[in-house]
Structure 1
Amino acid sequence: MTDPARIPVIVGIGEVADRPDTPGRGPIGPEPAALMAEALARADADAGGGWLPRLGSLDVVNAVSWPYADLPARVADLIGHRPARLAYGPVGGETPVRFLHEAARRIARGEVGVAALCSGEAEYGAGAARRAGLSPERDAIPPWTAPDPAWTNPRVRDYLHPQALRHGLSQPVFVYPLYETALQAAWGQTPRQGRDESAALWSAMSRVAAQNPHGWLRRSFTAEEIATPSPGNRPIAWPYLKLMVANPVVNQGAALIVTSLALARAAGLPDRRTVPIGPGAAAAEPRDWLARDRFDHAPAQDAVLGGTLRRAGLAPADLAAIELYSCFPCVPKMARRRLGLPGDAVPTVAGGLTFFGAPLNGYMAHAACAMVRTLRAAPGAAGLLYGQGEFVTKHHALVLGGPARVPADEAMSVQDEADHRRGPVPPVVADASGRAALETHTVLFDREGAPQKGVVVLRRGLARLLARVPAADRATLGLLTDLDRSPVGLDGTLRMAADGLLEWEAA
């Protein structure tokens, strides 16, 4: 069907980068809600104006950098309009893609005429205020919204296995390295080869970010800079250095406005300014990362990427641009292999979460804005957005551009396919002795670059175990950080430490 009243298109995009060197800026900068409102105003202007009072739906990406009692209501107040549907999303880096997909379906079903989504974080401003002993609700100009004393941090990890929590593997920066290590071994790489692949990919992303006026680190980095430990590039969690991980200490906001092709034309917008929203798909891994079959694949990612392209009738070679989520190198490296992209492909239009910036859950809203700019310059071309959240957990992909068409009436979820790709999950055992073999691992470092401990995921028969490698066990830590030999599969001895946690020594 080609009914323009049911064809969803993006008509407006807006971005804000409140950098500390912005002329006339105060010492703290605007709050997240203000960044969102400004991004919406810019998206409205980009679409020719007059769209915000017509919003029937507004999705607000979850913000973590400031404790609001009702962030969507605050954004609505700032834009001077409260849509009939005003929603606040959960934590997850994939949520902007999902919001965009859902907005398109609402337009196609005739539920709303105009929809929007927005994101905004001010982690840099909030941190600067704390360091200076300032209170943003009192000292910022204008003052930030008063903090909600009952606010609960939405990033609580109580859904993780108790063993993961006891060993300190409750933050993404400590869990994604487990995938990286396992994947390097599965791909037949040495850690040095894996590091060099990550560094080359990240260097290419930095070059894109350097050309993006809305980016945070607006300079390019060489692969050697990214791969080499230094005072400004300290090791975080093996095998990742600081320049390989997402940078959330930014002040950035983004917004997109979606309507039907019919309303866009009625407003006088030429078709070349509108970008159709095509098919997409979503799926998830078990939320507890220890409840997964392996760490050298992501069945949900495979199902989502394959399902999205299949629904769009596209092959990877048909895509003019791609944005693969890049919180840590293992994610786009897996995805580009699944898509069969060449090794020198640059899977970003925004610049990646290290260099463009990682406004927590909002990066893919910026990526969508960058994709719209790219596709406006190439009418008829198609691009792919792929977002991911939590611990390689939630996956959502969406095609933008291509032929303008009414979305098919099909479920977003391809969960059945993802589950079919997954193997049996080993039970986690907390108490054991004797021998166990390394499945994957990481090493955590302090701010001076010294190893604090290793954490190993082990296999013993059908069971999975977690164990610590103490900082004093230099020999085992040396094997775990050997750049020229993967330790995956190494055998070692388990023992119970005085605090009730298992420890492991290679040999």
Structure 2
Amino acid sequence: MTGRAIPPRTPVLVGVGVAMRREEDWTQALEPIDLMLEAVRSAGANSGAAALLAEVGMVAVPRGRWRYRNPSGEIARAIGATGATTVVSSVGVLQQTLIADACQAIMDGRVECALVTGSDAGYRLLRAKMCGVRSEERDQDDEPDVRLEPKAELRHPAEIAAGLKMPVGLYAMLESARRAASGQSIEAHRDRLAARYARFAEIAAANPDGWTRAVLNAATIRDDGPRNPMQAFPYTRAHCSTWNVDQAAALLFCSAERAAALGIDRSLWVFPLASAESNHMVALSARADLVRSPGVDLTARAVLETGGVAAADIDLIELYSCFPVAVDAFADALDLPPDRDLTITGSMAFAGGPYNNYFFQATARAAALLRQGAGRTALLSCVSGILTKQAFALWSTDPPRDGFIRRDVTAEVAAATAELPVVENYTGGGQIVGCTVLHARGEAPRAVALIDIDGGARALAVSDAPATIAGMERDEWVGRSVRVIAGALAA
């Protein structure tokens, strides 16, 4: 688009800031809101026009593992943006939704500048817990102007009853379904995941904002050990998002007109081209297809069509990596070759996965690389829930031809998604469609299976039998016919 005028309302990312601390003494660590403020001020300085912060008309923050009621309000007051609309989103709202909302507000002329920031202080929480105390945070008694909430629960009650309290077990169940569909053996599949994550660790080691700089080999990642325990087969700790981190990120947006008026260096401008998201929610156990995700497939198609690009032509790619199956789902939807690097951060396992904030860290990294000339385009994927909601964001150093475009494909995804009833405390026969073995610290392992039963319904069944647990980690149980008695797998 060289030589063409940029429409004045075009949203531009002009400032990025990150903050990271690793204090062994939790009393010396920053509170989450102070991490955010550090990142916010860094974003202001990064733009070369720190005074822009006082002009912000919207401040949006996704909820982390903190108890603040309105961190957006405190941030707005701290930067002098006292008239800003304050937004706080709950867990279950896509992080990309906040970015798209900010860009849309600029496009529509509702605000001239917008700030999106988030943080989590999981390391601070961990260090306090190790001292036998609960980390303290300052009180807030005000409310944000806007509070975004998901429209439904992210998990089915039957999943919680079966012991699937943490996301790792549910994602591992999706992993088993994809493994069986691929025809790979359990051992070959584990080797493939380990090799991919070893590459992720290499990338994280070169990321200046990454939490872990150690390069792990595939064998260390693949197999459980004292420092890498099994979490939910086949996932060891090294396959999972590292959320015990103190990290924050801030993204400062303004209109192209305002950026030009302030004299912000054109080399700092990064343009959001397109956003695509699906907010259709179906609990994992009720999904008729555990292998392909209509939400992932349709958001991928929408963002590429809207941006007018092919996935093969995108320079930088960051696929959401809370667990390995999410990476594969997005890579398949984009039809990416197996030798393509799928992260620019090093993944949530190694770069750090602050609770409900990682996508901002990844976006900041993408912007930094684009500014450095590592490419002209970047594509990032986003997840909320158990691969429940999905989104993509497309960025470029070149301005969009038709302005920033936001696509919501929720209705199309709902129409393409088949949902099954889930029966609790089931007795009868059926066929396993997904399974895992849960390994929790201080608890005996537990096998969990999701089963297709008569009448086009689903049921969850569990087993504590050592033979069943060993068999499920050795042989392929997806597709096996089983008997269930009151929610327990029969021997």
TM-score by length of 1: 0.89
Aligned pairs (5 A) from 1:163-312: 163-312=158-307
Change in CA separation of 1:130 and 1:404 when aligned onto 2, cut-off 3 Å = same
Larger displacement relative to structure 2 (385-394 or 193-202): 193-202
CA distance in 1, matches of 2:381, 2:461: 34
Q: CA deviation at 1:309?
A: 0.6
Q: Secondary structure at the match of 1:146?
A: coil
CA distance in 1, matches of 2:440, 2:150: 23
Q: CA deviation at 1:223?
A: 1.3
8 Å CA contact 2:11, 2:404 repeated in 1: no
Partner of 1:4: 7
Change in CA separation of 1:324 and 1:276 when aligned onto 2, cut-off 3 Å = same
Q: Secondary structure at the match of 2:349?
A: helix
Of 384, 400, 412, the residue aligned with 1:405 is 400
Q: CA deviation at 1:84?
A: 2.3
CA distance in 1, matches of 2:268, 2:406: 29
Query: What amino acid maps onto 1:90 in structure 2?
Result: S
* 1:3-50, Cα deviation, whole Å (9 max, x unpaired): 4312111100000111237xxx87440001000011000000000121
Q: How many residues align?
A: 480
Change in CA separation of 1:176 and 1:382 when aligned onto 2, cut-off 3 Å = same
Partner of 1:435: 429
Of 433, 451, 454, the residue aligned with 2:447 is 454
Of 468, 473, 476, the residue aligned with 1:481 is 473
Q: CA deviation at 1:406?
A: 6.2
8 Å CA contact 2:370, 2:376 repeated in 1: yes
Change in CA separation of 1:192 and 1:83 when aligned onto 2, cut-off 3 Å = farther
Q: CA deviation at 1:103?
A: 1.4
Partner of 1:91: 91
CA distance in 1, matches of 2:201, 2:239: 11
CA distance in 2, matches of 1:369, 1:69: 25
RMSD: 2.4
Query: What amino acid maps onto 2:440 in structure 1?
Result: D
Partner of 1:499: none
Residue 332 (structure 1) aligned with residue 327 (structure 2): yes
* 1:115-137, Cα deviation, whole Å (9 max, x unpaired): 11001111211231233245654
Gaps of 5+ in 2: 144-148
Larger displacement relative to structure 2 (25-34 or 250-259): 25-34
Q: CA deviation at 1:100?
A: 1.6
Q: CA deviation at 1:447?
A: 2.4
Partner of 1:490: 480
Q: CA deviation at 1:92?
A: 4.0
* 1:158-192, Cα deviation, whole Å (9 max, x unpaired): 66333222112232112111100001111111222
CA distance in 2, matches of 1:26, 1:419: 45
Partner of 1:146: 139
Q: CA deviation at 1:82?
A: 2.6
Larger displacement relative to structure 2 (260-269 or 436-445): 260-269
CA distance in 1, matches of 2:54, 2:481: 64
Partner of 1:504: 489
Q: CA deviation at 1:431?
A: 4.8
8 Å CA contact 2:484, 2:490 repeated in 1: yes
CA distance in 2, matches of 1:329, 1:107: 35
Q: CA deviation at 1:387?
A: 0.6
Residue 15 (structure 1) aligned with residue 18 (structure 2): yes
Change in CA separation of 1:396 and 1:414 when aligned onto 2, cut-off 3 Å = same
Q: CA deviation at 1:412?
A: 2.6
CA distance in 1, matches of 2:388, 2:217: 31
Q: CA deviation at 1:381?
A: 1.1
Query: What amino acid maps onto 2:410 in structure 1?
Result: Q
* Aligned residues with identical type, % of pairs: 29
Query: What amino acid maps onto 2:58 in structure 1?
Result: S
Q: CA deviation at 1:354?
A: 1.0
Partner of 1:365: 360
Query: What amino acid maps onto 2:459 in structure 1?
Result: L
Q: CA deviation at 1:494?
A: 1.7
8 Å CA contact 1:28, 1:136 repeated in 2: no
CA distance in 2, matches of 1:74, 1:134: 26
Query: What amino acid maps onto 1:492 in structure 2?
Result: V
CA distance in 1, matches of 2:29, 2:133: 12
CA distance in 2, matches of 1:172, 1:131: 23
Partner of 2:146: none
Larger displacement relative to structure 2 (327-336 or 290-299): 290-299
TM-score by length of 2: 0.92
CA distance in 2, matches of 1:298, 1:168: 24
Q: CA deviation at 1:271?
A: 2.0
Partner of 2:33: 33
8 Å CA contact 1:468, 1:503 repeated in 2: yes
Partner of 1:132: 131
CA distance in 1, matches of 2:206, 2:93: 23
